Amino acid sequence: MNIALNMFQGAFGAYSSILPRQAASKAVEWMTSPRIAPERRLSCQELFSKNVDLPSGARLSSYGSGSKKILFLHGWSGWVGQFEGLIREINPFEYTVYAVHPLGHGESKAVRSHPGRFIEALLETIEYLNCRFDAAVGHSLGAAALVSAQAQTGSFEGMILISSPATIEGVLNRFARFLNLGKRSKNHFIRAMEKTVGMPVEKLNLALIAEAEKIPVLLIHDKNDQEIPASESESLLLAFENSQIFRTIGWGHSRLLQNPAVTQKIMQFLDSTPYR
């Protein structure tokens, strides 16, 4: 392990033991600050012919003229260009393609965001378009937000969930563990994140939400994912009634979006799924 990281974790762990609330506050600041290179924020934008600003500060991009509708939502500190290989495979005369950029992502100048903003952006998109989607594709936190939005609106006929967590509480616990937060500081951190997001972590237990869903779901996860364990998707596989999983090895958390086999699997799912 990196020596500098070891030193940081040791020092921050000691800090969190002495000043648990202050350390928790700093953890919330880091957890809610997207880090995206400027060139990545703008990547793939040339594909989209229309952009609409949503009330929360999110943005909705679209292109294509097909009668079918497919929606994309990237993960935390992600960008729509991560889906470029897949988007270019989709026939724009068959599908209208939509991409959601939550607050703090895309061209947004906001320096803070949080998981609730992802859900909020989806709900605003659904209200603005006032339609159902043949499919929705989400990566990481974007996948989690899709499950939450589906539970609230039932707007998706099928979902592709890539590198998805099974619970948001697990995401927060892993971040707290990475920072080496002490027990009291970790508890303060989770309560502060709940206040920031505006809902308790129990409301974002995706494995529990999934039990009520009947739509077709394709789960994709890499065995070597270091950010969200592959076991999270395995839990979702058991929870969703009508689901299947595609496993990769050696592509990690985000790079698997560039895996041609993943693109091929998603296209097969789109072509073969008998949407209701």
The predicted-structure confidence for 15-59, as pLDDT tens digits, reads as follows 899 999 999 999 999 999 999 998 899 888 888 999 999 999 999
Q: Is the pLDDT of residue 276 over 70?
A: no
SS3 content of the chain, % helix, strand, coil (to 5): 50, 15, 35
3-state secondary structure of 51: strand
The predicted-structure confidence for 41-51, as pLDDT tens digits, reads as follows 988 888 899 99
Q: What pLDDT is recorded for position 275?
A: 53
Q: What pLDDT is recorded for position 230?
A: 97
The predicted-structure confidence for 218-247, as pLDDT tens digits, reads as follows 999 999 999 999 999 999 999 999 999 999
Q: What percent of the chain has pLDDT over 90?
A: 92
Determine the Cα–Cα distance for residues 207 and 230; give it in Å rounded to an integer. 14
3-state secondary structure of 212: coil
What is the sign, positive or negative, of the torsion defined by CA atoms of 215, 220, 223, 228? negative
Residue with tokens 């998706």: 156
Banded pLDDT at 274 (limits 50, 70, 90): low
The predicted-structure confidence for 62-110, as pLDDT tens digits, reads as follows 999 999 999 999 999 999 999 999 999 999 999 999 999 999 999 999 9
**pTM of this prediction?**
0.95
Determine the Cα–Cα distance for residues 68 and 7; give it in Å rounded to an integer. 52
Q: What pLDDT is recorded for position 42?
A: 83
Q: Which domains, and CATH codes, for the chain?
A: 78-103+155-167+205-276 (3.40.50.1820)
